[in-house]
Structure 1
Amino acid sequence: MATNRLVGRLGTYLESRKNITGSVCGLLGLVLTFTGVAGPYWPVVVLGLYGAGALIAPPQRPALPDFPDPSAQLTEIRADFTKLQDYLSDVDLPPATATRLRTLTDLLDALLDPGWVAEILAGDPEGVHTVSRAVRQDIPEAVDTFVRTRWWHRMTPGQDPPEHHLERQLTVLNEEAQRLATALRETEARRQESHTRYLEDRSQ
């Protein structure tokens, strides 16, 4: 096992920039030797030039992890949003709560709809994270907790109705989604203003 690791490291070094640069400098040392410049100290010259080349070579940079781009992330989130909608269609909610939830899901659906809006969203990593968290965590957890708590409320009435907490949670999520939509709209507004200034400056 240790031998395999050693062989692997040796192979990596042989292909590295340091070895290639050092080898090129070492060849220069051999050229100096053949031309008689290095004299009897040619081994020292060759080794010295190789070492100098290896030292000045830029370090080997490991490849960056191959993470999915934001557009690919949105495709995955859309698939999960479809699953979420199927789940929500089977949940019995009070009318007012259902309306509030529908407002939220309609906004998320508009943000995720393939097209120019989704392209703007893909350029905002924090926005993608906000939508992903709402779809994959916040909404399903809020609704599932409501369903389970409602059963206990029926067994032990007199407590704060669970739909009140769900409505408060949905209100917070709606506000968060609205802030995101506003931020994306402002991004486009700034883009439009920048283009206007560019055209005006160009015409002067």
Structure 2
Amino acid sequence: MATSKGNGGWAYLESRKNLTGSSCGLAGVVLTFTGVSGPYWPVVVAGLYGAGALIAPPERTAPPDFPDPSAQLDEVRGDFGRLRAYLAGVELPPAAGERLGELTGLLEALLEPGWVAEVLAADPDGVHTVSRAVRQDVPEAVDAYVRARWWTRMTPGQQPPERHLERQLALLHEEAERLTAELRETEARRQESHTRYLEDRSG
């Protein structure tokens, strides 16, 4: 408890309120030596200190240091590598395997370090879409297929689970294609904006 109070005391000594109040109080001391304050100098010094402490800006708590989008993409790349290792050990029917290959190829292209990833990093929604696909949607779709396939083998005659998997992978591929198109539009608008800038500058 004593340490806590001691730390609090030191914190106040270093605070903006104390520093500003001390500066104003020092001005009161100067006034005292010049004879302006007269016999009421203690009141003047204390009053100036209090006024300085009141007008000082409040202490600001630093906001949390969240990773920037580029750092988030680095984490997603690592997770994507683990996802690829997981998928390599799963046996899928040819049609589903082909769809999965198309999807993972597109995700890999978006995550490849370089200017494409820089464009993606500038789009928080895009980063979320890719992260969700890598960390949740794709592994969930494949794992659900593996589980359902086991039950289908135990109870033949049910709807083939690969149909659901193929549909899920198709939807995820469409989502990734939409994201790619949006990023392409962002670059197109950037190019058009630069053209207009050059036209305006040339008169």
Report TM bin, short chain: over 0.9
Name the structure 1 match of 2:94.
95
Deviations 1:104-132 (A, max 9, x none): 10110000001100011111112111111
Task: Quote how far apart the aligned CAs of 1:91 are.
Answer: 0.8
Q: Structure 1: which 5+ runs fail to align?
A: none
C-alpha distance in 1, partners of 2:170/2:54? 61
Name the structure 1 match of 2:82.
83
Task: Quote how far apart the aligned CAs of 1:102 are.
Answer: 0.8
My pick for the range that moved more, 5-14 or 102-111, is 5-14
- SS of match in other structure, 2:43: helix
Name the structure 2 match of 1:6.
5
Name the structure 2 match of 1:23.
22
Name the structure 2 match of 1:163.
162
C-alpha distance in 1, partners of 2:12/2:193? 50
Name the structure 2 match of 1:41.
40
TM-score, scaled to structure 2: 0.96
Task: Quote how far apart the aligned CAs of 1:3 are.
Answer: 2.6
What percentage of aligned pairs have identical amino acids?
A: 72
Deviations 1:11-45 (A, max 9, x none): 22211111111111111111111111111111111
Name the structure 2 match of 1:145.
144
- SS of match in other structure, 1:118: helix
Name the structure 1 match of 2:200.
201
My pick for the range that moved more, 10-19 or 87-96, is 10-19
C-alpha distance in 2, partners of 1:7/1:163? 67
- SS of match in other structure, 2:166: helix
Return the letter of the residue paired with 2:140: E
Return the letter of the residue paired with 1:184: L
C-alpha distance in 2, partners of 1:106/1:81? 11
- SS of match in other structure, 1:80: helix
Q: Which runs of 4+ in 1 moved over 3 A?
A: none
C-alpha distance in 1, partners of 2:179/2:7? 49
- SS of match in other structure, 2:181: helix
Return the letter of the residue paired with 2:39: P
Deviations 1:129-188 (A, max 9, x none): 111111111111111111011100110122221111112211221122112111111111
TM-score, scaled to structure 1: 0.95
Name the structure 1 match of 2:49.
50
Q: Structure 2: which 5+ runs fail to align?
A: none
- SS of match in other structure, 1:60: coil
- SS of match in other structure, 1:20: helix
Task: Quote how far apart the aligned CAs of 1:49 are.
Answer: 1.1
C-alpha distance in 1, partners of 2:43/2:159? 86
Return the letter of the residue paired with 1:133: R
